Amino acid sequence: MQLLYQTHSPYARKALVFAHEAGLADRIEVIHHETSPTRRNEAVFAQNPLGKVPVLLRPGLPPLFDSDVICAYLDTQHGGPALIPAEGEARWRALRLQAVAQGLADAGIAVRWETVRRPAELRYPPLRDGYLGKLVAGYDWLEAELDVDASLHVGHIAVATALDWLHFRELPDFRTGRPRLSDWFDRFAGRASMRATPLSGDTHD
């Protein structure tokens, strides 16, 4: 399999960390692609009509996108414990956590558009402030709700990769006043899957 990837994408990294945790990383060739809404990447558009990574290319089968779908597929390709619980409240807790992580990454990207990516004369501070509020509310929710002692699941991977990206982009600090979340993140960041997939580079708009 091949994974169309970007070294500074929280979504692509989530898929790759998942692959490592599932023991599948040695079956995937990682191919870096720069993508941005303002700079069309034809190779990525040829595989994903939205022109975004990650995209998982499978021999003889249609490509898969986005990170949630890729993780769900990869969870069917290994023989270890499922990283996406199949049923019951454990499933909904994991998927709910994944949704919060996705929203944090989305909000962080929106803040960057309104602070560093969009031309200064086109930025809208009230929109920036609204998304900053979502980040703070999300951090507070994680401090209270993150199931830090549960068995590893996709929600943990999504949260860890989103938080690490937010730190990488120097967005509001999730650590301040949140010792439970900070301690959990520090432990997760030491996992081999995280150390093998460091963030690097910048977006080219």
Residue 156 to residue 150: CA distance in whole angstroms: 9
* Residue 121's pLDDT band (cuts 50, 70, 90): very high
- Domains of the chain (ranges; CATH) run 2-74 (3.40.30.10), 88-195 (1.20.1050.10)
The residue assigned the tokens 């860890």 is: 160
* The pLDDT value given to residue 152: 98
Strand order in the sheet with 55-58: 29-32, 2-5, 55-58, 61-64
Average pLDDT of span 169-181 = 97
* The pLDDT value given to residue 80: 96
Average pLDDT of span 150-169 = 98
The residue assigned the tokens 């949260």 is: 159
CB 189 within 8 A of CB 156: no
Residue 111 to residue 122: CA distance in whole angstroms: 13
* Residue 205's pLDDT band (cuts 50, 70, 90): confident
Q: What is the pLDDT of residues 26-47, one digit of tens each?
A: 999 999 999 999 999 999 999 9
- Amino acid at the residue 4: L
The residue assigned the tokens 């994680």 is: 142
Average pLDDT of span 80-88 = 97
Q: What is the pLDDT of residues 125-142, one digit of tens each?
A: 999 999 999 999 999 999
* pTM for this prediction: 0.97
CB 83 within 8 A of CB 157: yes
Reply yes or no on whether the pLDDT at 3 is more than 90. yes
